[in-house]
Structure 1
Amino acid sequence: MSAPTPPPDLTAPLISLTWTDHVTGRQGHLVVDRLVRGVASGGLRMRPGCTLDEVAGLARGMTMKEALHFDADDSTVSYVPLGGAKGGIDCDPRDPEAYGVLVRYLRATRPYIERFWTMGEDLGLTQDTVDRAAAEAGLVSTVQAIHPLLDDETAARRRLADAFSVEVDGIGLAELVGGCGVAEAVLAVLDRSGTPYAGTRVSVQGFGTMGGATARFLSRSGLRIVAVADVKGTLAHPDGLDVETLLAARDAYGTVDRTALRPGDRELPADAWLSVDAEVLVPAAVSYAVDSVNQAAIGARWIVEAANMPVLPEAEELLARRGITVLPDVVVNSGTNAWWWWTLFGDVRPEADDAFARVRRAMRALIDLMLERAAADGTTPRAAAHALVADRLPVIAERYGWYGEGRPNRLSEA
């Protein structure tokens, strides 16, 4: 008599693979954590030292972000959640060979992108670069896997293209929506604690897509951005940096031209962003930025995770003991991903005002729900977010299925 088949491990990723570039020997990774209706969502990052474990953690985070933006009772929304996925390439994006590596990675993963991995920019890459490389690799679009789920593919693609053409004061809407969401998370927690915006000091690590946009929204809300860190070090001013000048002086990788600094601006070591006098820290660059050692330098009251996985678990435990609250990435930086799909499915118009209003409304609701759950359960915000995901994933699986089985959409008929 054969042994009974063990139940499947639903915490393990559905697909996990490593690719080796035949030209340079560099490696890239792809992890599909879960499918919903046969599709998963998640960006592609490029950074030296990127590992399969890192990509797997990011893919699981994408599954959570999708679930957190699912409202089973809202029948007015056309977009429904996708699964989570992520790609990563172990290469410095500034390396002269980086673009060739990117194109070859996309050629190798093309069947996955065509069928079920919808992807866009992440750390180290811009959407323009990804789109150019994708076209060279023979792809119609980096989100073509979702096209069969759309009622009108042509209209949906036009909406997304129109949205990507929108600029607000020199910065593209696609870049701004993520920072809008992060900033709203900061403002929400300040409102809940009764802390006035004016005079609240913020330190931001990373001044690229997410960090730069976050700094703009917070500065325009009256907060003081007292420190900004890029690859060259930390820029600081106790009365607040001139955010718009720094934004205009940064390159494609978020590095600020130091000739744009004012006489009172200071240049400090790279890790000084952790210890400057500030109420709010916004890590918006690399993963694993706050560890069990350097967390001791932090005196802020809140850490708001704009980057993916910037605070290590052991560091978060130590921070909690000191009364420092970490707002987790799966909630805080989920606005960009949700906005892509809201736009594609027609839930928001390809206009800045509509996009920002929707992101702000969704982020406020999520922050409130998470913090109320944390208070009720006596847990951290991260544990509360994970509990919300655990409640929603079975509902999503039952309603939509992993592979779109039984669903009346074009994907299931393909």
Structure 2
Amino acid sequence: MQPMHKGRFADPAVEERFQQVGRRYRVPFVRVYGVLFMLIALAYSVSNPLLLAPAANARVAVWLGLTLLVAGAYVGATFWDGYVRKPVVDFSCLVLLQLLIGQVNVTLFEHLANVQAHLHAVATINRLAVTAFAAVTLAARPRLFLLWLGCDVLQWLGQIFADGTFPAEIVYALLSYVSGAVVMVAINLAIGVSSRWAFALAEALDVERGKNEAMVHNMLPAAAVEKIRDGRMVADAYADVSVIFIDMVGFSKLAKRVSPGHLVELLNGFFNHADRCAAEHGVEKVKTIGDAYLAIAGGNVACGNSADAAIAFARAVLAGVDEIGRVAGVEVGLRIGIHSGPVVGGVIGATRMAYDYWGETMNIAARIESTAPVNGIAISERTWLRARDRADFGAPRSELLKGVGDTCVFHAGPAQPDDLAPDPELPGISAAA
């Protein structure tokens, strides 16, 4: 929301845009009011010769002619491109109209006073003040306002005709009341229309804001969003998470065999399935890298035991491999690696922001994934010790990981020939530990 200062926007540029946009929306109503004003002046011009003495009629005709000229010029000015940037046009025209109508009223009042008429035309102005209040109060309810106006007209006519006043006064009172009532009806409609525009705009903005909020929270954790809004750096440390790295087997060869559209369909099916599994098991999706899927248990999304959540997620993903392949019409194989340890998470950069994680734990998980059997899971010793659900994992193996060295790894999945016996280099760890 734009900051305000003394009833105006603090930013002069914003204030200027607000004024111009408001004036642009009011242009149709200004034209309607101008035309109504000209019609009322014409009505007076037609009635005056029948009610006024020649001298008084001549003076009123001059003032009304000038009034028509100014009102016409006012309406014409609204078609000028620079009108919305020049509020002085409204001010000048309204001042001139006020002076001219004042002169017309002076002449009419002098005539009515000379014939000793009751000045019901003057009293009508007081009723129109209440009518103006009703027009604003009952905005956006034109039928209710017209009903109220009808009741007021009946009451007013009863007062006018009650004492049999001079005919000239009745005509001028009718002209004053009808002209004012017509303007009030136009004001009631204008306020209703503008209010509906504002409401529709606010509703549309709320819908778009909701979509944007959902999109932002889909990309960033809620806590990170709040920090970014406050202008704070997003940097978090997590002491114990389990990183899951999933890769599709033989993706490069597959990409050469199938069409790009078929490949995108396959990846979309795989990633959507992984997303559903992540939501089901309380695992946070971090990102996709080509055909690889990276997720974390125990980071921004709370879970009990991060290792158990990661393993359960991995098993759920593997359970859908056959269905993914059936839908895509090709054989699909996945390898999954899991490693537990500390990571650092945060948001870097100002464009295409995404919450990411860094640290050695991430690298080891990716390296362990490469040792997993096809459609199987490989976990590090640290994850194995952290997990309570170890049922499917066999004996430990020593794997030489690039950039890491010899690492104790446990496998679960299709049996491999050398998975049937424990590694002699790791006598202290057994499946029953």
TM more than 0.5: no
Greater fraction helix: 2
TM-score normalised per structure 1:
0.20
- Structure with greater contact order relative to length (CA < 8 Å, sep ≥ 6): 1
- State which structure, 1 or 2, has the greater radius of gyration over its C-alpha atoms: 2
